[in-house]
C-alpha cells in the first residue's frame, strides 16, 4: 500500500509540474477556451513598425516619436537624391532587394485584404507605408537602365553601433546598369511598383500610372541586361546574396505586371520562360526575400483558377503542381516528397537565422491560396496533396495557428510581435531602439561609444519598436532575449509586411464570428 501511495503522490507531482510547464502556452490566448488575440491591435502595431524603420526626413504626422530625421545626404556624393526609403532591420543600411520585397508584400496584403484593413481603420496607414517605399524606388530609378541598389555598406555599418540620426558611417551608394546588371533586384523592384500601382489606382490614379511606367521600364531593363545584382555589387553579397538567381524575380515581376496591366505579353513571358527560369521545375518549401518561387507559382495558379487563358492551361497546371508542393509541405501532407519541419510547439521551422520570416510568409500564402480556391467556385474547395485532399479551411486554420504562435500561443508564452501583450522581447538587436532617443538626449553618440555605453547594457532597450517581428525561437521553441543574439532578436521589415494582411483578415473573421 505504501508503494501505491508513493506512486500516486509522484504521479500527482508530475502532473502538477507538467501543468506549470505548459501554463504559458495555455494562458497565452488563442488556445482552447482562451480569449482570442486582439488582431486589430496587432495590425495597428505592425503599421507603426514601418514608421520606426523610416530613413530620410520624417513627416509632421510621424507617430513613432523616438525617431528623427536621418540619411539626409544619401546620394549626395553621386549627385542623386536617395533620401528616404527603409532601413531593413537593426542596422542603418538601405538594401534594395529586401526593401522591394517588403513593399511587394505590403501591396499584396493591401490588395487582397483591402476591406478588412479599411474596416479596422488602417487603410491610410497602409498606403503611407507602401508610398514611403515606392517614392524611394521612383527616385532610385534615375534612368531607364539605371537603378540605385543600396546606400551604405554592411561592413562599415556593422563596425559601429549608432542611432541612424548620428550616423558617421559610409553612405556610399551603389547602382546596377547596363554594364553591371542586376535582374533580381530590378525584377523585384518592378514587382513592387506594379503591385503598388494597383493599390493606388482608385485613390491616386496619376501616381499609380507613374509607378506602372517605372515598373514596365524596369522589367525591360532586367530582361534585356541579365545578371545577378550581387555579382555587380560585391557589398551586397555578404548580407543579401541572391542565392536563387534572377529567374524567380523576373517571373514574379512578369506575373505582377500581367495582373496590373492585363497585357498578354507579360503572361506569355511567364509561360515562355517557365522552364528556363525554374518556375515550373523548382519545387521549393520556403518563400522569402530571396526565393520567390512559391509566391509566383501561386500567382500563376490564380490565373489558371480564373479560367481566362485556356491557351496556357498546360503550363499553368505545371505552375499549380509546384505551388501545391509548397502548400502541402507546410501542411505536412507531402508524403515522401518532403515537408516543412515543425517544432514541438507547432511552429514551421526552416532555419535557425530569422525563422519567423518563413512563418509569416507561409501564413500569408496559405491564407491567400485558400481564398483563391474558394473563389474559384470548385465544390468542395480542396488542395490535392500526396497524403490526400485538404479542404481550404485547413489552410486557413494552419495560417491562424502560425499567427497565434507569433502572438504568444507558444511554449515560451512570448509574443514575438514587439510591443504586443506583456511578454515580448525587450532587448531587440536594433541600433536606434537600444540607444536613448535623440529627443531625450540630443548629445552625439559616436561609432564605438554606442557599443560601450548601450549595446553591452543588460537592461531593456529604452525605445520599444512596436510592431517588429523578431527572428524568433529555435527548433526547440527556445528563445534568448539578448541584444547580441541577432539570429533571434533582430527584426526585419519583410517579417512584418505579410502579417499586415493576415492580422487584418483575422480581425475581420473574429468580428464576423462575434456578430453571428
* Catalytic positions: 429
Task: Identify whether the C-beta of residue 315 lies closer than 8 Å to the C-beta of residue 280.
Answer: yes
* Alpha carbons 261 and 372: distance in angstroms, whole number: 20
Within 212-359, strands assigned E span 341-342, 348-349
Q: Is the dihedral of CA 337, 184, 497, 381 positive or negative?
A: negative
| Other CB atoms within 10 A of residue 83 CB | 20
* Alpha carbons 102 and 86: distance in angstroms, whole number: 10
Cite the DSSP H helix spans in 290-388.
293-306, 313-330, 356-375
- CA 510 to chain CA centroid, nearest Å: 23
* Alpha carbons 380 and 266: distance in angstroms, whole number: 32
* Alpha carbons 289 and 184: distance in angstroms, whole number: 10
Q: Determine whether 29 is exposed, middle or buried from the number of CB atoms within 10 Å of its CB (0-12, 13-18, 19+).
A: middle
Helix and strand numbers (H, E) in the chain are 20, 7
* Alpha carbons 457 and 220: distance in angstroms, whole number: 50
* Alpha carbons 54 and 480: distance in angstroms, whole number: 27
Task: Identify whether the C-beta of residue 173 lies closer than 8 Å to the C-beta of residue 82.
Answer: yes
Q: Determine whether 306 is exposed, middle or buried from the number of CB atoms within 10 Å of its CB (0-12, 13-18, 19+).
A: exposed
Task: Identify whether the C-beta of residue 354 lies closer than 8 Å to the C-beta of residue 489.
Answer: no
Q: Is the dihedral of CA 27, 429, 500, 320 positive or negative?
A: negative
The residue whose grid cell reads 551604405 is: 152
Task: Identify whether the C-beta of residue 43 lies closer than 8 Å to the C-beta of residue 117.
Answer: yes
DSSP SS3 for 150: strand
CA-based nearest residue to 169, from 452, 433, 483, 448 = 448
Amino acid at each position: 500500500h505504501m508503494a501505491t501511495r508513493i506512486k500516486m503522490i509522484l504521479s500527482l507531482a508530475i502532473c502538477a509540474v507538467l501543468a506549470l510547464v505548459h501554463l504559458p502556452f495555455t494562458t497565452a490566448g488563442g488556445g482552447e477556451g482562451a480569449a482570442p488575440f486582439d488582431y486589430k491591435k496587432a495590425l495597428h502595431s505592425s503599421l507603426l513598425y514601418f514608421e520606426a524603420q523610416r530613413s530620410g526626413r520624417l513627416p509632421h504626422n510621424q507617430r513613432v516619436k523616438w525617431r528623427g530625421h536621418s540619411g539626409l545626404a544619401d546620394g549626395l556624393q553621386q549627385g542623386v537624391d536617395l533620401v528616404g526609403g527603409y532601413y531593413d532591420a537593426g542596422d542603418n543600411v538601405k538594401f534594395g532587394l529586401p526593401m522591394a520585397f517588403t513593399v511587394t508584400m505590403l501591396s499584396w496584403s493591401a490588395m487582397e485584404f483591402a476591406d478588412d484593413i479599411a474596416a479596422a481603420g488602417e487603410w491610410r496607414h497602409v498606403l503611407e507605408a507602401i508610398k514611403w517605399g515606392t517614392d524611394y524606388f521612383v527616385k532610385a530609378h534615375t534612368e531607364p537602365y539605371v537603378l540605385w541598389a543600396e546606400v551604405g555598406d554592411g561592413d562599415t555599418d556593422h563596425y559601429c553601433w549608432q542611432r541612424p540620426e548620428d550616423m558617421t558611417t559610409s553612405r556610399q551608394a551603389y547602382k546596377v546598369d547596363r554594364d553591371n546588371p542586376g535582374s533580381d533586384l530590378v525584377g523585384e523592384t518592378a514587382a513592387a511598383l506594379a503591385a503598388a500601382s494597383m493599390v493606388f489606382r482608385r485613390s491616386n490614379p496619376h501616381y499609380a500610372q507613374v509607378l506602372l511606367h517605372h515598373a514596365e521600364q524596369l522589367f525591360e531593363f532586367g530582361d534585356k541586361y541579365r545578371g545577378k545584382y550581387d555579382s555587380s555589387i560585391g557589398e551586397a553579397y555578404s548580407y543579401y546574396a541572391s542565392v536563387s538567381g534572377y529567374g524567380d524575380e523576373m517571373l514574379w515581376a512578369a506575373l505582377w505586371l500581367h495582373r496590373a496591366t492585363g497585357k498578354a505579353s507579360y503572361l506569355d513571358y511567364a509561360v515562355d520562360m517557365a522552364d528556363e527560369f525554374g518556375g515550373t521545375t523548382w519545387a521549393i518549401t520556403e518563400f522569402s526575400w530571396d526565393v520567390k518561387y512559391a509566391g509566383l507559382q501561386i500567382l500563376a495558379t490564380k490565373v489558371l483558377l480564373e479560367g481566362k487563358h485556356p491557351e496556357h492551361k498546360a503550363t499553368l497546371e505545371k505552375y499549380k503542381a509546384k505551388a501545391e508542393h509548397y502548400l502541402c509541405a507546410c501542411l505536412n501532407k507531402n508524403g515522401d516528397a518532403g515537408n516543412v519541419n515543425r517544432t514541438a510547439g507547432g511552429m514551421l521551422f526552416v532555419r535557425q537565422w530569422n525563422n519567423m520570416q518563413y512563418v509569416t510568409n507561409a501564413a500569408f500564402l496559405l491564407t491567400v491560396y485558400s481564398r483563391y480556391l474558394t473563389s474559384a467556385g470548385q465544390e468542395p474547395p480542396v488542395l490535392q496533396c500526396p497524403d490526400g485532399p485538404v479542404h481550404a479551411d485547413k489552410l486557413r486554420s494552419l495560417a491562424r495557428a502560425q499567427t497565434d504562435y507569433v502572438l504568444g500561443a507558444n511554449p515560451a508564452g512570448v509574443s514575438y510581435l514587439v510591443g504586443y501583450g506583456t511578454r515580448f522581447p525587450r532587448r531587440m538587436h536594433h541600433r536606434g531602439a537600444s540607444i536613448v532617443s535623440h529627443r531625450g538626449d540630443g548629445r552625439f553618440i559616436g561609432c564605438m561609444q554606442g557599443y560601450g555605453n548601450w549595446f553591452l547594457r543588460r537592461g531593456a532597450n529604452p525605445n520599444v519598436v512596436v510592431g517588429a517581428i523578431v527572428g524568433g525561437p529555435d527548433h526547440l521553441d527556445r528563445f534568448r532575449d539578448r541584444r547580441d543574439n541577432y539570429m533571434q532578436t533582430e527584426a526585419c521589415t519583410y517579417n512584418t509586411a505579410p502579417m499586415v494582411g493576415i492580422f487584418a483578415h483575422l480581425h475581420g473573421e473574429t468580428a464576423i464570428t462575434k456578430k453571428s
